[in-house]
A and B are shown apart, each in its own frame.
Chain A
Amino acid sequence: MRVVFKTSYDPDIDLHDHAWKRWGIALLLAVMAALPFLVGDYYLAEATNTLIWALAGMGLMVLVGHTGQVSLGHAAFLAIGAYTDAALMNIGWPFLLSFPVAGLVAGVFGAIIAVPAVRMSGIYLAIATLAVFVIVEEMVILLAPITGGIGGIFAPTIEIAGIGFDRYAALDNFYWLCLVVVALVTWGYANLMRSPTGRSFLAVRDSEVSARALGINVTRTRALAFGLSSGVTGLAGALMGHYIGFFNYELFSIFISINLLLVVTIGGLGFIPGAFLGAILITGVPQLISILRDSANATLGIDLGGIPGLDTMVFSLILIGFIIYEPTGLYGRWLKLRVWWELFPLARRDMFRRQKTYLKTERMR
């Protein structure tokens, strides 16, 4: 167990209270940056996809994990980001301008619809966001001159200062671009969570009534969380558009929304690393299943490809398993493993037994 001897408040304010952890992050970043030299194009493309999903996952995590609001409509913000970015680049805007504007448009749109939506909570909010998703989907089809309608839209090649970031021609560059965006957003997210704004999100999530008694404007806080969430998701959407290259409204289906919710729940609600772990699982498991299926076919002669719905079933089983046995998600499991390791051999099974909440009434909800 590492002990931090504190002589000022700064270790508590810093992102990492221990130099050891700082080196860990630096090492991770270095490995991620060196990835194009370590793996082939297939895996690099998958890693890029994972990064984009992690970015969208962080977007939803702000809302679901840290502010306690459900959204079934986040595919809509991916779509808004993707279409805004592609449409602006098609009329000649440079990526460095169109990309932040895409995030901003998605964020402002999210904040505007949040004003009526955040008065609802739970299942009602989920349905309201679902309605937003349907509206955006219809809007994409109706705004055919801008969005290409049913036919689809082409996301132009990104070029910054003469360097190409094409997803096929220069995958390494595109990967690094995504990595930089994800790293910056993660840093901003971590900063948010150690500052008054992030604490007000948590306050609204855990007890609305005491949040209000502490002077937190609940409606405004939720709208802000919604705006930030949809903004980050919009950025992810813009990158996703470039990753796919050519897309229409079908790319942003309701299943994307559900998958995003899976990313944050399986990853671990309320933990930034959870978004990454969830993204790895969501993008990795289908690949893993198809690799296993192919090898089963090749070596054992078992043709699992003929069974319809196998992937979906395995996927669903994983999800159900998590919800029953590990509600805190992959990151929660990781924390438990770490404590077990740090305390070895003193850790006990009951240390993580969930406790019933003491004396909680529904009076003021």
Chain B
Amino acid sequence: MSLLAVEDLAIHFGGVKAVDGVSFEVEAGEVFAIIGPNGAGKSTIFNLISRLYEPTRGRIHFDGADITALKAHQIAPLGIARTFQNIELFDHSTVLDNLLMGRHIHRRTNFVQDILFLPKVRREEREHRRRVEEVIAFLELEHYRGKHIAGLPYGVRKVVEIGRALALGPKLILLDEPASGLSVEESQDVAFWIEDMRRDMGLTVLMVEHDMGLVTQVSDRVLAVANGRPLALGTAAEVQADPEVQAAYLGTGDAA
């Protein structure tokens, strides 16, 4: 039984078929990459899985349950965390607070207990903090712990966003272009982290990425999409060798 199964997923914005009949299955413990030219519908697939968009048709199953009818905020508690292509961090908070916000689904106190700051709240906070500190150590963010997001360089923000998703303690992590805008060294770090997430944390990774070097290095299987339709599915080498994929990226030979 696969961890995530997407069946015939489609979303149409008016006449634009952003995603049109995409199906794939992600096995537990796998690194699965979605590639495709700009506007292919990769991020839209992510937004459909996060339930930020309402699909026109198709179903999404996670861990054996149909999640197509759930609301966006009901997705994270199932164990699906994500990052955003354009970084959606809480700019006016510190790195630490951003990571702590990732622990929201694990809160066991209500607002009245919070206002009175009962001993239980402190115990919970210590536990959240301990888990967040593990993420900080993993991503080597110690230096930035108390810094506000607004003043951080782009590369660090990307890492903090991955950290926030990890702080959630997910089973499946959706990474939307984790290496875009990063230097070669930083992309290399991301590659190692993805490896470690899979190996040490037992995470399943679904990512959208343009950097073919990174995709080849870390992913088990690759799905190529173009114009909202699936083109090819297989290992990175197989997909890259696919003539349709090459045509989608470079244009067809005959047209030129």
Contact = CB atoms under 8 A, between A and B. Distances in A.
Interface of A: 9-10, 12-13, 188-189, 191-192, 194-200, 202-203, 205-207, 209-218, 224, 228, 270, 355, 357-361, 363-364
B180 to A, nearest CB: 10
Given A212-B52, A358-B157, A200 B88 contact: no
Contact of A213 (B75, B92, B96, B133): B75
Given A210-B84, A357-B91, 10 more contacts: A195-B109, A195-B125, A199-B97, A202-B101, A205-B92, A209-B84, A212-B72, A213-B76, A213-B82, A363-B86
Interface residues on B, range: 35 or more
Nearest to A210: B88
Given A13-B125, A196-B109, A361-B86, A202 B93 contact: yes
Interface string B154-166: 1001000000100
Contact of A364 (B74, B75, B88, B130): B88
B15 interface: no
Interface in B143-191: 150-151, 154, 157, 164, 168, 181
Interface of B: 47, 50, 52, 71-77, 81-82, 84, 86-93, 96-97, 100-105, 107, 109-111, 114-117, 121-122, 124-126, 128-130, 133, 150-151, 154, 157, 164, 168, 181
A192 B111 contact: yes
Contacts of A196: 100, 103-104, 107, 109, 114, 124, 128
B90 A212 contact: no
A199 B100 CA distance: 8
A195 B109 CA distance: 9
Contact of B115 (A13, A192, A200, A203): A192
A195 B92 contact: no
Contacts of A212: 50, 52, 72-73
B83 to A, nearest CB: 9
Nearest to A358: B154
A195 B117 contact: yes
B90 A206 contact: yes
Contacts of A191: 114-117, 121
26 contacts: A9-B126, A9-B129, A9-B130, A9-B133, A10-B126, A13-B126, A13-B129, A191-B116, A191-B121, A192-B111, A195-B121, A195-B125, A197-B110, A197-B111, A197-B115, A203-B104, A207-B89, A210-B88, A210-B164, A215-B73, A217-B71, A270-B92, A359-B86, A359-B87, A364-B84, A364-B88
A357 B130 CA distance: 31
Q: Which of A192, A213, A357 has the most CB of B within 10 A?
A: A213
B144 to A, nearest CB: 15
A206 B91 contact: yes
Q: Which of B102, B133, B181 has the most CB of A within 10 A?
A: B102
A172 to B, nearest CB: 29
Contacts of B168: 214-215
B125 A202 contact: no
A188 B116 contact: yes
Nearest to A215: B76
Nearest to B157: A358
A359 B121 CA distance: 36
B72 A213 contact: yes
Contacts of B97: 199, 202
Nearest to A224: B111
Given A195-B121, A200-B104, A207-B90, A359 B150 contact: no
A355 B76 contact: no
A192 B115 CA distance: 5
Q: Which of B82, B105, B111, B157 has the most CB of A within 10 A?
A: B111
Contact of B88 (A202, A209, A358): A209
Given A192-B111, A192-B114, A214-B105, A209 B52 contact: yes
